[in-house]
């Protein structure tokens, strides 16, 4: 190769390397900019996920792209069943059972989804349900309760409570330990979980523990700061969706003050089981969830209130790619296991919301940039094809 040609080759390689380095730096700056949201700075991976969902860059909606998921060997058996309701209809009930012989504890799980069709069901929560079954070695029973606009209050609540009764009537078939029954729900499901526990108290049905993930606790227009700060919709839940859900689920405004719709307004919260209330920092429902936890505490119950920093509404759904969410799901699992075996300790005085801030590890940072590069490629591909 002559000297002139060699210089041209080296110049080309150098120029290409420079372009790649500059492009990479620009991409990193763009990805970093996603941390700065309308209500403040968020962790890098949280910012990437928020950007991906709000820009509709995930074709599977809120589900995790398979590209980033680490497969786990199955240790549970999933089964779909039908349960006849008291009004003569049938709803789907999905169970997740450990492959080992029992009897096992039971977790009745109520999915979130704003009480409305198209916002959530047992399919959208399948990853959480599988993981919870794996991590607790418990039987998960998840009803596909009926939702608005076809069904109004109290249909969803009745379906949810009747699922608890169904579990108790089928304990032998499920290989379930009925001394270890927990009720768990997220968002709208957290609302249902609280109301189911209240109905269980009235019916003398024993519930061992309760977990409420970023729960909706009141339909009343109360002045919670988080409702104003994080209700634009960028953090996965908007004020417009909340108002739409309220109108669809409870078209009768008098029901908004019903304690079975707004558990925060219940006069007597005594006798609740050991409870864990999980809230997210960037969530319009944060303050009302923590207010509910404080009311449980003031009523003499054992309760933990934990706020996960750097997270948004519904964040546990991203446990496969979000370290903070994985930690939260493990925290919930450990709480349930300890509660089942009676080893969970509770601080007696005073009530406080514990803030969990694990911070992002180097792995989280690297993965966030990897996800960001993938999303930028998706945007570029979309731009070219349009």
Q: Which residues are catalytic?
A: 187, 283, 313
Category of 117 on φ-ψ map: left (φ > 0), alpha (ψ -120 to 50) or beta: beta
Tell me how many degrees the CA angle 206-207-212 measures, rounded to the nearest 5. 160
Conformation bin of residue 169: beta by default, left when phi > 0, alpha when psi is -120 to 50: alpha
**End-to-end Cα separation, the chain, in angstroms:** 44
CA distance 211 to 277: 6
Query: Within 13 A of 163's CA, how many CA atoms are on the CB side?
Result: 35
DSSP, collapsed to helix, strand or coil, labels residue 288 as helix
Burial class (CB in 10 A: 0-12, 13-18, 19+), 95: buried
Compute the distance between CA of residue 205 and CA of residue 199 in angstroms, rounded to an integer. 9
Give 225-287 as a DSSP string. HHHHHS-BSTTS-BHHHHHHHHHHH--SGGGGG-TTT-GGG-S--TTPPEEEEEEEEE-TTHH
To which residue do tokens 């009897």 refer? 103
Give me the DSSP letters along 181-236.
EEEEEETHHHHHHHHHHHHHHHTT----EEEEES-----S----HHHHHS-BSTTS
Beta bridge partners of 143: 93
């Amino acid at each position: 190769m002559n000297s002139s040609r060699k210089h041209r080759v080296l110049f080309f390689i150098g120029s290409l390397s420079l372009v790649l380095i500059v492009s990479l730096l620009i991409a990193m700056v763009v990805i970093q900019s996603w941390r700065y949201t309308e209500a403040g700075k968020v962790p890098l991976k949280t910012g990437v996920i928020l950007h991906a969902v709000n820009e509709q860059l995930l074709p599977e909606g809120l589900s995790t792209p398979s590209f980033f998921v680490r497969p786990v060997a199955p240790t549970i058996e999933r089964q779909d069943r039908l349960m006849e309701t008291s009004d003569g209809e049938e709803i789907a009930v999905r169970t997740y059972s450990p492959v080992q012989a029992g009897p096992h504890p039971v977790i009745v799980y109520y999915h979130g989804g704003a009480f409305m069709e198209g916002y959530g069901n047992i399919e959208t929560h399948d990853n959480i349900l599988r993981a919870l079954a794996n991590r607790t070695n418990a039987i998960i029973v998840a009803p596909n309760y009926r939702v608005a606009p076809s069904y109004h209050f109290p249909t969803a609540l009745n379906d949810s409570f009747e699922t608890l009764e169904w579990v108790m009537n089928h304990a032998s078939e499920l290989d379930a330990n009925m001394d270890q029954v927990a009720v768990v729900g997220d968002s709208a499901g957290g609302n249902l979980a609280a109301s189911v526990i209240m109905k269980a108290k009235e019916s003398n049905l024993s519930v061992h523990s309760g977990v409420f993930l970023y729960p909706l606790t009141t339909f009343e227009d109360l002045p919670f700061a988080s409702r104003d700060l994080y209700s634009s919709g960028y953090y996965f839940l908007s004020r417009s969706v909340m108002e739409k859900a309220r109108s669809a689920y409870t078209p009768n405004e008098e029901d908004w003050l019903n304690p079975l719709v707004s558990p925060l307004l219940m006069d007597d919260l005594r006798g609740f089981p050991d409870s864990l209330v999980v809230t997210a920092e960037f969530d319009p429902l944060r303050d009302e969830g923590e207010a509910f936890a404080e009311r449980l505490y003031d009523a003499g119950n054992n309760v933990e209130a934990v706020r996960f920093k750097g997270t948004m509404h519904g964040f546990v759904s991203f446990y496969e790619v979000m370290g903070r969410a994985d930690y939260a799901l493990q925290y919930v699992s450990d709480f349930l296991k300890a509660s089942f075996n009676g080893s969970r300790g509770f601080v007696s005085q005073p009530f406080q919301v514990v803030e969990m801030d694990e911070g992002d590890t180097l792995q989280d940072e690297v993965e966030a940039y990897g996800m960001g590069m993938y999303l930028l490629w998706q945007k570029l591909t979309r731009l070219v094809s349009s």
